[in-house]
Amino acid sequence: MKITDAWITQPATQAVCRALLDAGYKAYFVGGCVRNALLRTPVSDLDISTDAVPEKVIELAEKAGLKAIPTGIDHGTITVVSGHIPHEITTFRRDVETDGRRAVVAFSTHMIDDAKRRDFTMNALYADAQGEIYDPLGEGIDDLSARRVRFIEDPEMRIREDFLRILRFFRFHAWYGDPFGGPDPEALAAIAANLDGIETLSRERIGAEMRKLLAAPEPAPSVASMRMTGTLARVVDGADDRALAPLVSFEHHFHMSHDPMRRLACLGGDGQGLRLSNGDKRQLALYRAGMAGSESAAELGYRHGAEIAVGILALRAAQFEQPLTESNVAAAQAGAGQAFPVKAADLMPAYQGAALGARLKELEKQWIASGFTLGKEQLLG
């Protein structure tokens, strides 16, 4: 088994590997880039493991004319920039002590130590500079091929090292797991036994994980497993996932985006504990208001644009267990292309100030009620 993708053979990345290898050190790609390459999904982040200590990595990178940034030097990580591409280089590590939020680590010279401290077997796969695959635990390739998300060795121990791994498990199952096979039962049992650890996590970290999970193409099975273990109630107060699967079905049928805020709105709750960005908060509030509103499909399209309008219609349909019809979607799309024909200047000087605003709203209401058919002359006449 070998990786031959363009990202691994590009000269800039090979230059980083040579800086380590030519000095007698090891260099192995690890984690997401290897996993995704084997799954034939896009690779974004390039992580490299080595037996060189961070100070040596900096020295060798600079000697090779590359930029070295000590982004996480206390934890053994140096970012080496080559050809404008960042490469996260981390020294092999083994855990010495953990408290469920952060770990005290010691450097190692052995790949197996580094593999054992990772979270899931599919993330403990390595590839050398030529793309040859290494599976030091002997489980990662089989689990990845079967789309099994499994904790390495003892699930409870892995979770207690970092309680965020509870949410990472569901996120990874949503993106990489077999939705028909169901999550690993040992993992679910370990998660259910360690839910109190979620309270030690920052709201920002929880919110980031939930956003990534809800952006998956098919998140409903993972979210259902979150509910069954009690995890969902811990992270989204008042959440109910019954409408999520119908919503996702509508999204697929009408070729909608996988908007995590639309899906969060579907779960209910206000998202207050997730520490969302201001933009996400506005998007969530817009969807929630639309779900509770009574505007027609055409008016939703006119006021919010086609994508948001169809999203609100899908949320309403999923919430009330109703179909999302082609005609409603078409009405929303048609409404999105409308422009109110009356301007403020058309009403002046007869109307001023608050009276002007009220008159504009009144005429706009008439225009929407007419199905956008009334022209300026008819509205002003």
Last residue of a domain, one of 146, 167, 189: 146
Give the model's pLDDT for residue 101. Answer: 53
| Coarse DSSP helix, strand, coil percentages of the chain, rounded to the nearest 5 percent | 55, 15, 35
Residues 158 and 91 in one domain: no
pLDDT number for residue 103: 59
Whether residues 20 and 122 fall in one domain: yes
* Count of structural domains, the chain: 4
Measured CA distances, 18 to 30, 66, 143 (Å): 17, 11, 31
**DSSP codes joined into one string, 184-249:** -HHHHHHHHTTGGGGGGS-HHHHHHHHHHHHTSSS-HHHHHHHHHHTHHHHHSTT---TTHHHHHH
CA distance 57 to 190: 38
pLDDT of 104 reads 64
- Cα 266 to Cα 241: distance, rounded to the nearest angstrom: 7
Give yes or no: residues 162 and 246 share one domain: no
> Residues 70, 7: one domain?
yes
Residue 270: φ, ψ to 5°: -105, 0
364: DSSP letter: H
132 with 10, same domain? yes
Do the Cβ atoms of 235 and 299 come closer than 8 Å?
no
Are 95 and 177 in the same domain? Answer: no
Judge whether 267 and 244 are in contact, CB under 8 Å.
yes
For 122-149, give one letter per residue: b (16+ CB within 10 A) or e.
bbbbbbbbebebbbbbebbbebbeeebb
Contact 139, 122 (CB under 8 A): no
What pLDDT does 295 receive? 95
Q: Look up the CATH number of the domain holding residue 182.
A: 1.10.3090.10
For 342, phi and psi rounded to 5 degrees? -100, 135
- Each residue's pLDDT, cut to its tens digit, for the chain (381 residues) gives 899 999 999 999 999 999 999 999 999 999 999 999 999 999 999 999 999 999 999 999 999 999 999 998 888 999 999 999 999 999 998 876 665 455 567 899 999 999 999 999 999 999 999 999 999 999 999 999 999 999 999 999 999 999 999 999 999 999 999 988 889 999 999 999 999 999 999 999 999 999 999 999 999 999 999 999 999 999 998 899 999 999 999 999 999 999 999 999 999 977 778 989 999 999 999 999 999 999 999 999 999 999 999 999 999 999 999 999 999 999 999 999 999 999 999 999 999 999 999 999 999 999 999 999 999 999 997
- The pLDDT value given to residue 99: 52
Residues 135 and 50 placed together within one structural domain of the fold: yes
State how far the Cα of 302 lies from the Cα of 310, in Å rounded to an integer: 11
> What pLDDT does 381 receive?
79
pTM of the model: 0.90
d(CA 51, CA 24): 10
Tell me the residue type at 137.
L
- Domain range for residue 323? 238-338
The Cα-based distances of 380 to 76, 349, 371 in angstroms read: 71, 14, 17
In a shared domain, residues 23 and 141? yes
Domain end among 235, 267, 300: 235
Helix (H, G, I), strand (E, B) or coil at 48: strand
List the CATH number of the domain containing 118: 3.30.460.10
Last residue of a domain, one of 215, 235, 255: 235
